[in-house]
Structure 1
């Protein structure tokens, strides 16, 4: 008679911070669930509290939104300040677009509009730095050539962070802080349905200088999304392991003056 299967390893949930009533964590959320992690979804904008510690969470992801990290709303200030929790506890933290800009603001960096008023809305080239190439070789998370963007403000690389990837109009695209905190200006979480929804509901933003028309969004997805998905699978495995207590790899603070 066959022995019963071993019970699955108990995994702590991942904290997911969203900023709109109908926002979803997209592909990032699905891949975390597939790896056995429940999602603890919170929306501070609508009154949800953030935990005082991540002892009961495997990590945290702050997603994007139409607001600015420079806004004076209470929930914006609360989230920026709260990022100190995962940094202090060295727990996996991931900031996507607005979340990356909040990470930058927490570290004393700047979030600003493009000097010529340009936006990145669509698929744009991504250029790994030498540190980013090393990161890819160490983790197997090989950077895609193009990534999906939806923003009109960009971040700088704050002191103490490591610059992993750059762009053309907005130079800072990916940063790492310590062994387990990352900020990406781009949106690896987008699904096919999300691209349709964003280009429909946010159609007025497609008129901004630098933004791409809807057809280029859909064509870009068919051209580039397979590489983005492969990178995201490998990145999430590394990111989750970064909080497992294993010795961290050395981090070169390339953004420190």
Structure 2
């Protein structure tokens, strides 16, 4: 039985459209809450797939939220072993930090649906399935592209929206996993942020409803293609067992 572990920071920012896809491919999915659950376990180390999801804190906020250090160590171990790793929003920023790149405030919020602009490499990548399909953006920070990683996409507001490392690591600033049919959870959960940013939830709700057909199809194609490639990468042998039981 294949296993997928998702590290979660907010309950409503879950695997979304990715979860039923994983189930259809035979994965048993388990969530770990970053702030409360143990991350240094044999189960996490042995998981076939690790997904680090989004959240409302910063990738360098470990002085305020010490659990970020635990996440970074798990991500570093995953990278060292060349095991399949998907990062979304905060998760992508943590991967960038683990690879030595900076993560900084953009000075503006990017919230809403907009298409990605693919780089030349992005057009040949798993993201090609997105074409001009608008995806959900919900962030105020951005990552630099790590040395050795492949820059895949950007937007007018945020030039660095996605990168990959080989076939086994994919980092997405945008929320490709977010189901537009479940947008109400996001609107309620982030009500204060929307009000502070001056964004009308009714406009976001209308944008989500317009994406109920094309976005799930495009997201599934991206995740299917990435999983096909990531699961065929040979892991790196290592003798390190740091923090593992």
* TM-score class normalised by the smaller sequence: 0.7 to 0.9
Which 4+ stretches in 1 moved above 6 angstroms?
A: none
Where in structure 2 are there 5+ consecutive unaligned residues? 235-245
Q: Is the 8 A contact 1:54 1:86 kept in 2?
A: no
Q: Is the 8 A contact 1:54 1:89 kept in 2?
A: no
Partners of 1:193 and 1:36 lie apart in 2 by 24
Corresponding residue SS for 2:77: helix
Partners of 2:218 and 2:84 lie apart in 1 by 17
Alignment of 1:118-137 (within 5 A): 118-136=108-126
Partner of 1:90: 82
Where in structure 1 are there 5+ consecutive unaligned residues? 1-10, 248-257
Partners of 2:133 and 2:11 lie apart in 1 by 32
**Which structure's CA Rg is the greater one?**
1
Partner of 1:236: 223
The alignment's TM-score, normalised by the length of structure 2, stands at 0.85
Q: Is the 8 A contact 1:92 1:239 kept in 2?
A: no
Q: Is the 8 A contact 2:13 2:53 kept in 1?
A: no
Partners of 1:58 and 1:214 lie apart in 2 by 37
Partner of 2:168: 180
Partners of 2:134 and 2:53 lie apart in 1 by 20
Please state how far the C-alpha of 1:214 moved relative to its aligned partner. 1.4
Deviates more, 1:117-126 or 1:14-23: 14-23
Corresponding residue SS for 1:16: strand
1:153 and 2:141 aligned? yes
Partners of 2:161 and 2:196 lie apart in 1 by 20
Partners of 2:120 and 2:57 lie apart in 1 by 32
User: How many pairs were matched up?
Assistant: 233
Partners of 1:140 and 1:20 lie apart in 2 by 29
Partner of 1:37: 27
Partner of 1:8: none
Partner of 1:199: 187
Q: Is the 8 A contact 1:26 1:190 kept in 2?
A: yes
Partner of 1:12: 2
Partners of 1:25 and 1:145 lie apart in 2 by 19
Deviates more, 1:233-242 or 1:159-168: 233-242
Please state how far the C-alpha of 1:48 moved relative to its aligned partner. 2.2
Q: 1:169 to 1:160 in 2, by over 3 A?
A: same
Deviates more, 1:154-163 or 1:80-89: 80-89
Return the match for 2:97 from 95, 102, 105.
Answer: 105
Corresponding residue SS for 2:161: strand
